Amino acid sequence: MLEPAKVNFAIAHAVHAFWRTKSLARRLRTRDDVSRWRERQLDRFLHEVVRRVPFYAGLALQARLEDLPIVDKQVVLANFDKLNVKGVQYEAVRAALDSGRDRVGGLIVGQSTGTSGNRGVFVISEAERFTWLGVILGKTLPDFPFARHKVALALPGFNPLYASAAETGRLALRFFDLTLGVEAWRDDLCVFAPDTIVAPPKVLRALAETSALRPVNVFSGAEVLDPLDRAIVEERFGSRVREIYMATEGLFGVGCKHGVLHLAEDAVAFEFEQAPAGLVSPLVTDFTRSAQIMARYRMNDLLRLSNEPCACGSPLQRVASVEGRQDDVFLLAGANGKHVLVTPDVMRNAVIDADRLIQDFRIVQIGADRIALSLAANLSNEAAQAAALALRATVEKAGAVNAMIELRSGIETPYDRKLRRVRREWRPQT
C-alpha cells in the first residue's frame, strides 16, 4: 500500500488525467483539432522528454518525430537502460519480476504475456500508473466519479498498472486470475455482481454462456474480438461489447458508446505502415510517458482503418477492426517458389461464413503448404467439410498452390494465454 502522502499525489494524477481526457473529448471536435493537439504534444515530448535518455543523444534541436529511428521489441530490450530515465537494466527488471518484486530504482516494472516469443518488459513511474488509470476511466466510465462502479477485470499479464484502480475509493475493483480458468472463480464473480466487466472475448463468451450476470458495461480486451463472439456475448448479456485496444506498450484505443473503436490519439501519436490486403500496422509514440520512452515503436498488429464518421461525433481515428498480428499472416507456397500472403481476417471470415453452425475454430499454418483446421467435436461432418472447402478456396484464390487442409476434431481454449484463432506456427528457413 502507498503512504497517505503518496496516495494523495497519485490520486491527483489520476484525477487530472481523467478530467483532461473528458475535456479533450469536448475540445477535439475535428481532425484539424486532433492534428494541432498532436503536434503541440509531440513538440513538448521531443524537446523535454526524449532528450533526457541516452538512446537519443545528439538529437538535433529541430528534430521532428520522423527523424527518430523506428524501434521494435528487440531494439527496446537490447537498449533498455538507454531508453529509461533511471538507466534501469533489463536484467534488473527480469530479476525483480522473477523474485516477485514490482519495483526497481523507484520505478514500477511489468511484463507482457509473451505471445510472440520473449516476454517484453517495461517500467513506469507512480505518476504514469495513475495517469493511465485516469485516462481509461475517462474513456470507459464517463459518469465516474459521480457514480460508483463495480469493475471485474480479467486480463492476462496482471501487474500493478491495473491494481492501481483498487486504490481509488470510488471503484470496487476485483481482479480474476485467468491462469486458474473461469471455473475457479465464476461463483465469486457472480457474488461480486459487477456492473462493468473487462476481459478477453473467450472469457466474456464463457461467462455469457454459463452465468446469469447482466453487466451494463462490457469491454473486450487483449485479443481479437471475432464477430461470432461479439454476437453471442451481446445476445446473452443484453449489452453492447466495446473494445479496449491495449498492449504492454500502452492503451491505444477504446470503443465508444456506439461500439466503434477509436484510437487514443489524445494520448498517443500514430503512424501507419502499409500491410497486405489494405491493412496497416501502427508505429506508436506515447507522449504521456516519460519514465521509459515509447517513440516510433513498431507494433505487430494489423488494423483495418475506416474514414467513415462515427455517430458519437468523435474525430479520433476510427478502426473498423483489429484483424490480428503481422506474424500470423500465412506464408503459403505459391507459383514459381514464391510465398503467397494470406491475412487472418480473410481465413477467419471464410470459415465463419461456411456454415451458421460454426461457433468456434482454430486455423494454424503448420507447413509451407499445410493448414490445420480444428472445429468443435460435435459439429456435423457436412459443416466441417463446408468449412474446409471454403478455406481451401480462399487460399487458392490468393494464389496458394497445393494447399492441404487437415481437418481436426476438438478445440481447447486455454485461459492462461491469449487466444489466437488464426496463427502461423511454421516459419520459413532463413
Q: What is the pLDDT of residues 297-323, one digit of tens each?
A: 999 899 999 999 999 999 999 999 998
Q: What is the pLDDT of residues 82-129, one digit of tens each?
A: 999 999 999 999 999 889 888 898 898 887 765 555 567 889 888 888
Check residue 7 and give its pLDDT.
Answer: 47
Q: What is the mean pLDDT of residues 226-253?
A: 89
Would the pLDDT of 163 be above 50? yes
Check residue 352 and give its pLDDT.
Answer: 93
Cβ-count burial 379-396 (b if 16+ within 10 Å, e if not): beeebbebbbebbbebbe
Domains of the chain: 4-325 (3.40.50.12780), 329-424 (3.30.300)
Q: What is the mean pLDDT of residues 220-240?
A: 90
Check residue 80 and give its pLDDT.
Answer: 95
Check residue 115 and give its pLDDT.
Answer: 52
Check residue 35 and give its pLDDT.
Answer: 97
Check residue 10 and give its pLDDT.
Answer: 62
The residues that bridge with 259 in the sheet, in sequence order, are: none
pLDDT-derived band of residue 425, with 50, 70 and 90 as boundaries?
very high
Q: What is the pLDDT of residues 317-351, one digit of tens each?
A: 999 999 888 889 999 988 877 889 999 989 999 99
Say what percent of the chain tops pLDDT 70.
92
Q: What is the mean pLDDT of residues 205-219?
A: 92
The residues that bridge with 408 in the sheet, in sequence order, are: 374
CA 37 → CA 26, 101, 363, distances in Å? Answer: 13, 38, 42
pLDDT-derived band of residue 5, with 50, 70 and 90 as boundaries?
very low
Say what percent of the chain tops pLDDT 90.
60
Check residue 1 and give its pLDDT.
Answer: 45
Check residue 4 and give its pLDDT.
Answer: 45
